[in-house]
Structure 1
């Protein structure tokens, strides 16, 4: 068969003879892949319908107003049949990874419901995202990989032409597989690991997964088979961890392969040292027991590689970490019309997804005017002090100087006014909205990156509220230990800072800022 060569033609919806754009049903639209696929389908010109048990969760998505929402469970044949009405293409992006012992029977029932409803509704194509797994005889697949393979076979046996895309580890912020790599690498300078860290894996960037999913809607209607998809790099799991370490600015990790760690013990270990839930960690660990690489590149016969080629592993990690200023090489023309890159986090991503962030947040209402409160905020640092125990700030300044930092000696350019870029002791003004918000970025020596954001908010009733947030992105295990070590001091420093700033704002204007110096 022939395939269009232009990136735009590969992915854009093709209207039927009546001029109607294809209607697409997405099952799993609020999941990691589905939440990123839907806006790209919309940008490509498809009409979107989603089936979800939780309408509220769909309504939290940025594309909610452009999609038709059908409430229901995919295990309910009537709900699936209703959602299939007048649908041309179905994307099946669901998997049961909830720790239940019945997941395989649930997956099987849902697949049969979908296949039957698609046949009865006259759907012309189904597209299923399965898992990349070894295909040799005598290889015992993990229960979850075996279930994914069974779902693919059920769909392929239906009367509806189906493309099954089999992907391995998906690299992107929010992907459970990537988050496991992220947190294991950042927490453990030395990782005791099972022997599977030596197994070969062919990871794929989320942008390339989306490209293949979009392009599969345009393949010849007679195509009905499974295809492996993967990125250009074949790596061992340990190499993937150390590739992440390099991109995250961490030292190379030493990995000790231990024969005694069974998948069950390893999943407990992952659940202990990372925020990835154990019910997800276990199927992920079990899927790594064998080499998972592409058996062939037959996918190129129906979907040519994206323009510019597939994304290398290290570049996919950089994108997931947000280490590129702009996502200049898009998967396709579709991405260019969207507000965020495929690797960006979404509101629907789980709480444990993304990099570790520690925060200390405080708010205090005040009787002072917004103008008075802002005057005190803008006067922070330098001769005016930090509105909290001077001894603790002095000790922190000397500690910084001992390790080669700037300490508190820089002061500030003006006692009463600040501008973006100004130095304030061992902070620098990163952003400022006069009268509302001041954000300081730490320039002290730290095992991570820190900000202090303080501001003034006027609520709906006209009341004034002081807001304060300390934010810390730790670097590796050292950064996490550092935060835990300073938490007791934060209880004194940050609480006193909030209390003192509000008290100064409520004093007479002639004495407010000048009296702050003694609190340095």
Structure 2
């Protein structure tokens, strides 16, 4: 018999990753959201039931709970400002009333791991209060208490990422040596799915954490090692208060201050699991829980081998729970600098593509030859390939081909050429050249240069070369378009023909 789960917070970090996990586990999923259009690009959008409504609307929640076997409360108000505690309290009470009135069978709440102290930070105190409200609802409730969740898009992880990547030398507060028990997002999701099947007489909180207990200093050093960064110099001082620390984090990272401030204030506490009772109901996986360095590796995998979207809109293909999602906040997922240009071309797709596919080598790059030559010489001096490799064929490119200091990563005939840089760089770089359709059947040439910086040097490198982008990338845009128009005028695009053996399938150019 198929069971139904209600998920609140489905547009958020955990909720957006929990829904596909529940679907894969065989649940019917119903989501309660204020703005259903935010879900339309999710790959699982056509597999769920969407109910429009607010968590604070008791009647809407009660209606959404009808016929459900489990309900997930994944709502918080950190990003609403200083009075988030008041809003969290009101929403939790409203949800608890609705759940009791609808005779809900099971509630599951993801809260925060907190120590046994008299005074908690506002963030952890609010999480504890919401936990108590739901446990007192009269509905069997499972509360999962987690500390720092490791996965791309998690606010705590993004703070760790940006601080470590951007600051090789840090003056930090004393809390940098407080102990924390982080947990990988995939283990959090496994516990959330399993918590829906707890026995009816189990209504309590559970501490959940990974296998490692680390200080924040150790977490930053291990992150740096996994990310290929040099060891960070960290100097804790007693004069940095949580208030000053939150302002400091706001300057260094793009995480909004409304989120960073309560999270930083919570770092004054040591948060280590006091029990592992959840394993009695949701056993550890055969390979054990995911350790910190493995969780960081999973979170960085998408950036270290960046899956650049082949289209010019956000990709929505499902991935691992640790991967960034298009729905994550703009500040999540690490830094990616983009120089994007497009222009209409008075030429056919074949003419434009013939120029794109023959770029590099003896044909050059259609902009500032002296600049390309100088950059190639510098790359050689730094141990890179420079421009000496040229190209295998003057007209044809295949995936894996070397092209000067680039490597061909993808070729989609008449549509897209993606190149990955193999020059010496403080980061990862790609160049995309694409043929697109414009209004009225006009051909459009689109060009993107992407750079994922590594460490502070990577960020400085991008800023250093940014003034030259107009010469290099702007010149390339204009030069390729002009050459395509010359090819069209001279009829030379006829060398690029379609295969007679595969009608309608792009072939290769003939010399």
Q: TM-score, length-normalised on structure 2?
A: 0.91
The match for 1:428 is 407
- In the aligned structure 1, how far is the partner of 2:488 from the partner of 2:12? 54
**SS of residue paired to 1:507:** helix
The match for 1:220 is 199
Instruction: Find 1:246's aligned residue among 220, 225, 240.
Output: 225
The Cα of 1:104 is off from its aligned counterpart by 1.5
1:122–1:99 CA distance, 2 compared to 1 (3 A): closer
The match for 2:428 is 449
1:319–1:410 CA distance, 2 compared to 1 (3 A): same
The reply on whether 1:277 has 2:277 as its aligned counterpart is no
The Cα of 1:193 is off from its aligned counterpart by 1.1
The reply on whether 1:235 has 2:245 as its aligned counterpart is no
Q: Quick check: 1:173–1:343 contact (8 Å CA) kept in 2? A: yes
The match for 1:3 is none
The match for 2:246 is 267
Q: How many residues align?
A: 482
Q: Quick check: 1:318–1:324 contact (8 Å CA) kept in 2? A: no
Q: Quick check: 1:227–1:299 contact (8 Å CA) kept in 2? A: yes
1:37–1:509 CA distance, 2 compared to 1 (3 A): closer
- In the aligned structure 2, how far is the partner of 1:443 from the partner of 1:511? 35
The reply on whether 1:317 has 2:296 as its aligned counterpart is yes
Q: Quick check: 2:109–2:143 contact (8 Å CA) kept in 1? A: yes
Q: Quick check: 1:504–1:513 contact (8 Å CA) kept in 2? A: no
The Cα of 1:290 is off from its aligned counterpart by 1.2
The correspondence of residues 406-417 of structure 1 with structure 2, limited to 5 A, is: 406-417=385-396
The match for 2:498 is none
Deviation beyond 6 Å, 4+ runs, structure 1? 323-326, 510-514
The reply on whether 1:130 has 2:111 as its aligned counterpart is yes
Q: Which runs of 5+ in 2 are unaligned?
A: 306-316, 494-511
The match for 1:258 is 237
The Cα of 1:64 is off from its aligned counterpart by 1.6
- In the aligned structure 1, how far is the partner of 2:488 from the partner of 2:193? 62
The match for 1:141 is 120
1:360-387 superposed Cα distances (whole Å, 9 cap, x missing partner): 1111111111111111111211211110
User: What is the RMSD computed on CA atoms of the aligned residues?
Assistant: 2.0
1:79–1:266 CA distance, 2 compared to 1 (3 A): same
- In the aligned structure 2, how far is the partner of 1:269 from the partner of 1:513? 59
The reply on whether 1:472 has 2:451 as its aligned counterpart is yes
Q: TM-score, length-normalised on structure 1?
A: 0.89
Q: Which runs of 5+ in 1 are unaligned?
A: 1-19, 327-337, 515-520
The correspondence of residues 145-224 of structure 1 with structure 2, limited to 5 A, is: 145-224=124-203
- In the aligned structure 2, how far is the partner of 1:245 from the partner of 1:87? 44
**SS of residue paired to 1:292:** coil
The match for 2:476 is 497
The reply on whether 1:23 has 2:4 as its aligned counterpart is yes
1:41-80 superposed Cα distances (whole Å, 9 cap, x missing partner): 1222222211111111122322222221111111122222
- In the aligned structure 2, how far is the partner of 1:152 from the partner of 1:368? 64
The Cα of 1:434 is off from its aligned counterpart by 2.1
Q: Quick check: 1:27–1:94 contact (8 Å CA) kept in 2? A: yes
The match for 1:55 is 36
The Cα of 1:415 is off from its aligned counterpart by 2.2
1:149-168 superposed Cα distances (whole Å, 9 cap, x missing partner): 01111111121111111000
Q: Quick check: 1:23–1:89 contact (8 Å CA) kept in 2? A: yes
- In the aligned structure 2, how far is the partner of 1:449 from the partner of 1:339? 23
